[in-house]
Each structure stands twice: as structure tokens, then as C-alpha cells.
Amino acid sequence: MKKIKYLDYYILIPYLLLTCIGILMVYSASSYIALQNFDQAQYYFIRQTIFSIIGFISCFIVFRFRYALLKNKGIVSMAVIGIGIVLYLLLIFGQEKNGAKGWISIGSIGIQPAEFAKIIVILYFSYFFSRKQKELINDYKRTLLTPSILFFALIIFPVMLQPDVGGALIILSIGVTLIFTSGVSYALGLTVGAIGIGSIMGLVGLVYKFGTRLPFLAEYQYNRFLAFWDPFALSQTSGMQLVNSYYALNRGGLFGVGIGGSVQKTGYLPEPYTDFIISIIGEELGLFGILIVLFLIIFLILRIYLIGIRSKDTFGALLCIGIATMLLIQSSINLGGVLGLLPITGVTFPFISYGGSSTIVLAFSIGLVLNVSATDKMDKERMVISKLK
Amino acid sequence: MKTKNPLKNRKKMSVLLFFAALIIYVIFAGRFSYIMIKGEVNGENLAKNVNNLYTRSSVLEANRGTIYDVGGDPVAMDATSYSLYAVLTDKWSSKASKPQYVVDKEKTAKVLAQYIAMSEEEILNRLNQDQDQVEFGTAGKNLSYEIKKNIENEKLPGIEFTNTPVRLYPNGVFASHLVGVAQMPTDKNGEAKKGTELTGIMGIEKVYNDLLTGKDGGKEYQKDSFGYVLPNSKVKTTEPKDGSDIYLTLDKRMQVYLESVMSDVYDKYEPKAMTATLMDPKTGAIVAASQRPTFNGTTKEGINQLWQNLLVENTYEPGSTFKVLTLAASINEGVFNPDEWYKSGSVKVADRVIRDVNRNGWGTITYLEGLERSSNVAFVNLAEKMNMDVWKNYLDQFGIGKSTQSGLLNEQKGSNTYKYAAEKATTSFGQGLTVTVFQMMQAFSAVANNGNMMKPQYISKTVDPNTGEEKIIEPEIVGKPISEETARQTREYLKSVVYGEHGTGRRYQIDGYEIAAKTGTAQIVNPETKSYYSGGNNYLYSVVGMAPADDPEYILYITVQQPEITDGSISGGDVVAEVFNPVMKRALEYSHVNEEENANENQVDMPEVTGHSKEDALSLLEETPLDITIIGNGDKVVQQLPLPQEKLIENQKVVLMTNGAMTMPDMSGWSKNDVLKVSEITGIEFVFDGEGYVSSQSLPPEALLSGDEQIKIELQPKSAED
């Protein structure tokens, strides 16, 4: 059986479309700044194109092999311990950008290990839970103890220390979601989820009321909350990004000012080709363009959840649920920031924002999903054939 | 109920997530639609905010109108001065390839030292300060455009300029209180306020501020966040409208000469105050007007001694020069008989005895002799002969007690209460009433201009540079208090003051011209005791002269208050004559030169030599009758004074500055004005001692001008009679 015949186009096509829109919009959004900083308008465009090609190739490679091979203690242990070591080393040797030591430079290429940590967490939990299904039902507390400790100690903790609170929150959310989709009692999942949402809201309430008098809240973090509540009052400082995001969206209107026509990207809106690329899409392509992008990404997310729900293979199913959740959380935090529904945390939009590590990790993830989907179909067909026989 | 099937649990959670994702995205889509279509968040109108954010406007500054003399020589003009500063920090430099801070401090100091009056070491000291940016004191301020351009051509990173509009008064002391001053409004620290323009604070600059001030234009365009104009955005431009130019009636040649004569006399006798006004009686045009104390318009030196324009703001008892009017009125009434005899010495009016200067009188003399001797008794008699009410009518006709409506600030109208008999009588010899210089000039013009009294005018025309429209100020007859014949006779009799055997004005004779004049020695009221000063030099010495007497081209009226005369052989009148005679002579000569030659053959246009090599410049100037001085040992002319196109007269000093180190020229015999040219061109200040022409200089010729030490220039008058 040729695996390629079982390629899931409902995944592949949205992925390719989003990647192409990403390359195009990175070019449009970055050209002005690239010209200023590098005397070359195509600087980011060329790099993003290369990242996307590398991503596509790795997606294909990941699709080809048997994903069950990943369900291997050696590989998973190496990945988890490896990323743990890298994240700690980062605290010493990492390069600082926007106040966080989150980067390793190899030549002119910057690598962001936290991006890789996301997929490794998904891999690790999927591997672990798929092997401990029975134990999870019988004694979930004991079963969850070891992976939870490892998860916090090796990944969440060093990322927090960078400090990249946003990144840590995303990985934490992915991890927690995976724990409660692992097969433990769904009532427990709902309870913890409700408690989680409740405590976050309580925390925000505390911040609102006490501000920097809270011992754990740094000045710059509090400013993000302030900027979120009333960006126009702080439009020159911490509210500047959100205000200019609104301006970009408003300029776009229904059909946008046309590709290349953004003014907000000319220095008004910081990070126009990474964190705020959606705002620039809104400005240049209008609500129409935004809805297309939203449709593509939610279609992709729902489709991946669906594969996870349908899959008979627990490992594959958990991988898909983890990846879909990662996409959902990351895109939601990004859009929430752009729209003023959440504080701005510096999270990029999947597939579209500029970024090598993120592009490649996402492509790798899509490769996995395509692999799970194709394998699942093949298995079902085999079963049908064997029954027929 | 606990589900024991992990698969089912997982599916339930996944389905939950599936729908949660869907709901979240529906919320996002709704929020996007709201922002992008409604355009309002947190009550802010986004479209309006965006427009405010992008639109940048810049002001296109209008030039203030230039004030010219009657011949078109600039008296007050706009200029820009540049101040140098150095950026020392690299935090404003965005690109390593284009540093915007001082990189090589030694080289920068070395280069700058060639252009500003500060030593290399001192510049280096400042560049080594631990500051983001530094200035260079007075040496780095008020730089000319040429210097700025030269420094810019050196392409020193981090060396920047700020520019401030300044008002330049190229002639220095030049009817300064009349012309006035315009400057940038300043804040408490003396720094020019931002967003303001040159504003007149005194004199014509203030009175005509609205006319002189242009209307700033502007540019409005859409910009990116770096301030560059966005492609495809329309630039809305409103052109600036420059202010109107004002042409004074003042003649630069006469004014400059009058100022130098006034300065000499002022320095020599240190009077409390002096005025001198030269008027063309046919038109009322003020040809030259000066006062002491005065100030230098550009440097403001001396401005705080006196803010009052003595021509219109000061009232005083005029004294005997006023008898010109009494004489004219009595001739007009037919009561003046030159050969009639009267008893001089004293006359009783009501309960008061009015006396002549010589309290015993000169016996019984004719009225003509009474005029020559300036006998108060004669004029009281004449007024009584006219009848005091008739005389009052003449006073009114001559405009006494009424403003001349000059339009100048704080113009006073003087007073003439004319109540008591004695008071009425004293008005006949210029006491008991107060006047302004302008009132006197106006009244005298009736005598000089055959009965037609001319309003004193100081503006000949205004020109709107935007439309080219000229508004000519026509001469204005403001009354005819006496007949033509009366005026002619009055001047005829006034000649005897100058040429008569007993004339008090014999010292005002000028060879070749007939002068009609009247002297005055008025008592001054002591402001503390409210009574007249007695004795000493506590008088207001004055003279009014009209020449040529048969058809006057000029009236010259001079007042000198309380001169310090130590030499017993010199009288107050002699002091007045030291101004009157040379100025009147020069005025009459000029008007003859003008008549005879029509064109000014000895005038040349200053050529443009800046930017030429020294040799080229010298050959360009070879044909001209100008006196050339070169400062600096370079081979290229970088600055020149006078500026190109200025009209120069023979032997006028031309100062050229070359590149390279500046050297001190030999200034012996130079006028103060010429020394100031060097000051202006080099930015080095000189300290003057004395008045007149350079007799010694503290820095020898050819020595390097470093600007570190003060250079003292001693001036001495060439001779009393020029």
C-alpha cells in the first residue's frame, strides 16, 4: 500500500495555504523594516521561504516513516533530557532578545529551543500516557506524578527563568490539556479545568486590585495588564502595540488597503512580521482576508482534533490532540493579544508569523498529523480487507 | 459516575476541546468584525486617531520684512545664526555605518579649531566630557552660514547645528530708538521660545510689527513613523507670505554720519541726553534722526540705558528756539517791526517780572536786535501786541499741545495750560509749555516750507513682496498757520541771528550757505525740587537751523541737555555747533552732489567674491576704489563684508576672510564701524575705549586671532572739525 495515497488533503491544503500566505505576508510586512535595517527588502522574505521549504521537506520525511517508531523509550528519553539540558544551558549561554534569554545563535541563524520543547512535551506525554492507559484509570495520582515532575523541572521551570512567562504558559497549557485528554476521568478534567479558569480569573482580579503591590508581579508585567485594560491611556508606552494593532485593523476595513499598502508596518506597529502579522493582514487584506486565515487555521485545528478523536491508536490520537491544542492555544493567545482580549505576551501566529524554529516545528507537527491520519486510514482499510478475506 | 474507559474519557475531552475551539474562533471573528467595521474601541474613534497619527505638518516660515533706508540699503534684516553642538553618545545612532556621534575626538577638535574661536585643547576638553552632547559656549554660537557650511563640508560625524532666526541691524547704531528692535521671544532662561517668530519690541519694528511679520505657511503630509513622507500621500502646501518691506525716509549716508558726529560729541561732553533731527521741510521726511543715549541694534549694547524714543516720548520746555514761532506769528499779524525800539531788561506781566538773560538789559534796542540777542522781553511784547488770545490761536495752529499722530509708541502731546497771564506771557519765549521734538519739527516746517506745515514722516513707502504692491506715503500738509510771505520774512529775520552783529547764532555759519537759525538755552526743571536748576550747565542747549535760508532744503534741530563742560572757553552753544555745523554742511553738500551728478558716480556695487580664490577676489576688486583688508592666510575667500550688491562709496573698507588661521589686520585709522565688520566676520569681540578712529590695538598686526584673549581697541577723534 502506498502511504502517499492516504495523504489527508484536509490537513495538507490548509497547511500549504497558510504557509504561502505566511511567506507573502512576511514579505509585505517586513520589507520596509528590512530595507531600513539590512538595505534589502527581501531579507525576511528569503529566509522565511527557506524555512518553509526546510519545513515542507521535514514534514514529508516525518510523513514517510512509521510514526510508531517514535513510541520508543530511548528516543523519547533522549528528547526530553536533551531539551531539558538545552533549556538550562540557555540560561547561561542564551542570547537575550526582548528581555528573555531564549535564543541560541548558530551563525546567522537563531534557534528558539522553547519552540522545540512544545513538540517534545507532546511527544513525551503521548508516549507516556499511551503506555499507561490502565494505570491512569486505576491510580492517576501516582501515574501522573513522575511525568509532572519531569515536565515542570526540565521544561516549564527553565522557560520561566528565561524569563518567558508567555512561552511557559503555552507549554503548561499544552501539558495540562494533554494530561486531561490522556484518558483520566473526564469529570476530573472538567473540574481541574474549571478550577484553572477560575484561579486565572481570580489572579487577574488580584492584579487589577493590587497592582505591583503583589510580590510576584514585576512592573513590566503589570504594565501589560494596564495596557490591556486601557491601551489608549498608555498609547505612547506599553499600550502602543495594541493601539496600533487596532489602527491597522481599522484601516483595513472590509477589503483592506491592498497588499503592500500597510502604513502601520512602517514603524508604527512593532513586530509587524512576527507577533502582529495578523494586524497587518487585517490592514492589507481586510476583514475578508482575516476571515480566510481564521477559517483555514480553525479548519486545520478541528480536523486534527477529529483525527485524534477517530484514531484507534492511543499514541497517534494523543499526538494529534496535543498538536491541535498547541495550535489552538498559540493562535488564541496571539489573536487575543492582537484583539485586546488578552494581555500581549509576544506569541507568534502559527504558520504565518516569521520564525525559523516555529515554522520547522509546525511543519514537523503537520508531518506527524498526516502520518497518523494516513496510518489510521491504512489500518482501517487493512481491517476491512482482512474481514473481507 | 466514573468512566473507566480511557478511550471514552479522551474522546469526551477531545470533543469538548473541538467545540471550545470553534466557539473561541467565533468570538475572534466577531471581535475582528467589530473593530474593523465599527471602528471604535474603548470609546476611541480609530479612524480619527489614525489620521492624527499620520499627519505631520511642518511650518514654512515667512520672512520678516526688511527695513530699508530711503535708497534701499538694509537697516534691519532677517538672518539666521547657527549654534554648534556635538553629539557624544552613540545611543541615537541607528546604524553602525552611519555614526551620528563624534567618533574621532582629536580630529574633530583639530578641524573645529580652524573655524570657531576656541583652541583645539579646549574643544577636546569639551568633547571628553561625560555628557550626551556638548555645546561650545559663545564661540559656537551666532555662527554665520558660511562657517556652518564649511564645517559641514568637513563631514564630521556628530557635529550638528541648531539655527535661530535673528534680526540683523547691519549699521549698528542707526536711529536705533526710531527703528527699534525685533527679537525672538525668550523664556525665563533667555532661550528662544519654540514656535515663535521675531517680534518687534520697540520703535518701528513694534509699531509696524503686523505689517513686517509675514504669514507662516505650512506643509501637511502623511508620514511613516520615521517622519518620511509616505508614498502616494498628497502633500498639502500653503506657501508662506513674507512680511512687507518698509522703506524709511532716513538716508543712510546722512544717518551714519550723524550717528558718528553725535557719538563724538556725546563722548566728549557727556550730556544727559541729546537729540538731532534732520528734516526735509518740503515733504516732512526725516532724513536723519539720532539721540543719545542710544544702542546697537544687533548687539543690543546700551539698550538698557534708555528705552525712550526722545523724538516723541519726551516732553520738555523748548526755550528760545520756540521764539521762531512767536516771530512768525507776530509777522503774520503785522505787529513785528524790526526797526521799532523797546526797553530791554525786564517787563512786568500781571504780578510777575519777566527778565532777559542779561538782567539789566541792553538798554533801548530795536526788535531786530532783540531777536538777535534772544531777548525775552521783546517776545513778551510781541505776544501782547498780537493779543494773548490771538497768540494762543497760533500756538494751536502750530500744533502745540497736540500729538503729531506719528504712530510711534507712547507719543506725547505735551501741554499748554495757558491759564495765568504770566504763564501765557512765558509761552512767547518757550517756557510754561512742553513739547516733543516731533512737534517742534512740524511747527518749524511751516516756516521753512513757505507756510505749509508738514507732518514729520519716517516712512517713504512699504512694499508687499508677495504682490509687488507699493504703498507710497505721500507728504501730508497738516496746516497753514502762516502765509508764504510771512514764512519768507521770518527766515530773513532769522538770518540776523546767525549773521547779525549781536547774533547769538554766529557760530552756526557755514561757508557757502546761508543759514536761518534760532538758538536756545532753556532752563530745566529739576525733577526732584520741581523748580528750575540754577547755574552751571544745567540747561537744554538747542538750535534750529534752516538752510539754504531762501529756500530751505533742510531743517536741523538739535538739543543737548546738561553737557559737562569743564573748559571755561566753551559754551553750551559751542557743543551744539559741533553737531550742527558738520551735519548741516554734509547734508547740503550731498544734496548738491545729487543735483549736479544725478547719478552717484562714485558709488560702486560690491561684487560677490566669497568662494573665489584670494587672487581672483583681488583682481575682481582691483578696478574698484575700495579699501581691501584680508584676514587670514588662506588662499580662498570664505566670507566678505559688505555683502554682495551693497552700494559702497569710494574708499569704503572691505573686509575679506580667507580660510586658514585668522590674523589681526592693522587697524590704525579705521573707524569703529570698520572694526565691527571684522568683529562680525570673525565672531571675535573687541573692547573699545574712546570714540572716533583707531589709535592703537592691543593685538599687533599679523598676530593670530585666537579669540582667547580680549582685544582692546583705543579710539581717538581725528579732529573736532572733520
Burial of A125 (0-12, 13-18, 19+ CB in 10 A): buried
Mark whether B44 and B155 lie in a shared domain. Answer: no
| CA pair distance B71, B255, nearest whole angstrom | 12
* B2 chain-A contacts, CB cut-off 8 A: 185, 187
Residue B146 DSSP SS3: helix
Give the CATH number for residue B392: 3.40.710.10
Q: Which of B9, B28, B44 lies nearest to residue A185, judging by beta carbons?
A: B9
Give which of B5, B14, B24 to mutate to test A binding, by max A Cβ within 10 Å. Answer: B14
* A276 chain-B contacts, CB cut-off 8 A: none
For A13, the enclosing helix (H) or strand (E) is helix A9-38
Each residue of B168-181: pLDDT tens digit?
A: 898 889 999 999 99
| Phi (first) and psi of residue A233, to 5 degrees | -70, -25
* A190 chain-B contacts, CB cut-off 8 A: 16
Mark whether B46 and B80 lie in a shared domain. Answer: no
Residue B611 lies in a domain: yes
Q: Which of A183, A266, A302 lies nearest to residue B225, judging by beta carbons?
A: A266
Report ipTM for this prediction. 0.92
Mark whether B578 and B663 lie in a shared domain. Answer: no
Chain B: residue whose CA lies nearest to A233? B42
Contact assignment for A266 to B49 by CB distance below 8 Å: no
C-alpha distance from A31 to closest chain B C-alpha (Å)? 14
- Residue at a domain's end among B563, B594, B625: B594
Contact assignment for A181 to B15 by CB distance below 8 Å: no
Give which of A132, A263, A335 to mutate to test B binding, by max B Cβ within 10 Å. Answer: A263
| CA pair distance A79, A82, nearest whole angstrom | 5
* B36 chain-A contacts, CB cut-off 8 A: 249-250, 252-254, 282, 286-287, 290
Contact assignment for A321 to B47 by CB distance below 8 Å: no
Each residue of B428-480: pLDDT tens digit?
A: 999 999 999 999 999 999 999 999 999 999 999 999 988 889 999 999 999 99
Contact assignment for A247 to B46 by CB distance below 8 Å: yes
- Residue at a domain's end among B57, B73, B93: B57
Each residue of A175-220: pLDDT tens digit?
A: 888 888 887 777 887 888 888 888 888 888 888 887 777 777 777 7
Residue B496 lies in a domain: yes
* A305 chain-B contacts, CB cut-off 8 A: 14, 17-18, 21
Q: Which of B564, B559, B571 is nearest to B518 (CA)?
A: B559
Q: Which of B7, B13, B53 lies nearest to residue A180, judging by beta carbons?
A: B13
Q: For position B599, what pLDDT does the model report? A: 46
Give the CATH number for residue B687: 3.30.10.20
Q: Which of B14, B21, B53 lies nearest to residue A308, judging by beta carbons?
A: B14
Q: Is the whole model's pTM more than 0.80, yes or no?
A: no
Residue B234 lies in a domain: no
Each residue of B122-177: pLDDT tens digit?
A: 888 888 888 888 888 777 877 877 888 888 888 888 888 887 788 889 888 999 99
Q: Is it the case that residue B721 has pLDDT exceeding 50?
A: no
Mark whether B351 and B418 lie in a shared domain. Answer: yes
**B584 within 8 A of B547, measured Cβ to Cβ:** yes
Chain A: residue whose CA lies nearest to B11? A309
Other beta carbons within 10 angstroms of residue B650's beta carbon come to: 12
Residue B470 lies in a domain: yes
Q: Which of A134, A181, A184 lies nearest to residue B14, judging by beta carbons?
A: A181
Q: SS3 breakdown of chain B: % helix, strand, coil, rounded to 5?
A: 30, 25, 40
C-alpha distance from B149 to closest chain A C-alpha (Å)? 28
Annotated catalytic residues of B are 320
Mark whether B51 and B69 lie in a shared domain. Answer: no
Residue B600 lies in a domain: no
Q: How confident is the model at residue B261 (pLDDT cuts 50, 70, 90)?
A: very high
Mark whether B156 and B74 lie in a shared domain. Answer: yes
Chain A: residue whose CA lies nearest to B48? A247
Higher-confidence position of A235 and B258: B258
**B407 within 8 A of B207, measured Cβ to Cβ:** yes
Mark whether B634 and B549 lie in a shared domain. Answer: no
Which string of DSSP letters, residue by residue, matches B291-334? EES---TTT-TTGGG----TTTS--B--GGGGHHHHHHHHHHTT
* B224 chain-A contacts, CB cut-off 8 A: 32, 263, 266-268
Contact assignment for B15 to A249 by CB distance below 8 Å: no
Which residues share a beta bridge with B557?
Answer: B277, B544
Mark whether B50 and B86 lie in a shared domain. Answer: no
Name the CA dihedral angle for A214, A219, A225, A230, rounded to a multiple of 10 degrees. Answer: 120
Mark whether B406 and B552 lie in a shared domain. Answer: yes
Mean pLDDT of B245-251: 95
Each residue of B407-418: pLDDT tens digit?
A: 999 999 999 999
Contact assignment for A282 to B36 by CB distance below 8 Å: yes
Residue B230 lies in a domain: no
Each residue of B503-521: pLDDT tens digit?
A: 999 999 998 899 999 999 9
Mark whether B317 and B356 lie in a shared domain. Answer: yes
Contact assignment for B230 to A263 by CB distance below 8 Å: yes
Residue B241 lies in a domain: no
Mark whether B511 and B554 lie in a shared domain. Answer: yes
Sign of torsion over alpha carbons B666, B670, B674, B675: positive
Give the CATH number for residue B148: 3.30.70.2110
- Residue at a domain's end among B547, B566, B594: B594
Domain count, chain B: 4
Mean pLDDT of B673-684: 77
Q: Which of A137, A183, A301 lies nearest to residue B21, judging by beta carbons?
A: A301
Q: Is it the case that residue B600 has pLDDT exceeding 70?
A: no
Contact assignment for A309 to B4 by CB distance below 8 Å: no
Q: How confident is the model at residue B644 (pLDDT cuts 50, 70, 90)?
A: confident
Mark whether B76 and B92 lie in a shared domain. Answer: yes
Residue B23 lies in a domain: yes
* Structural domain range at position B27: 6-57
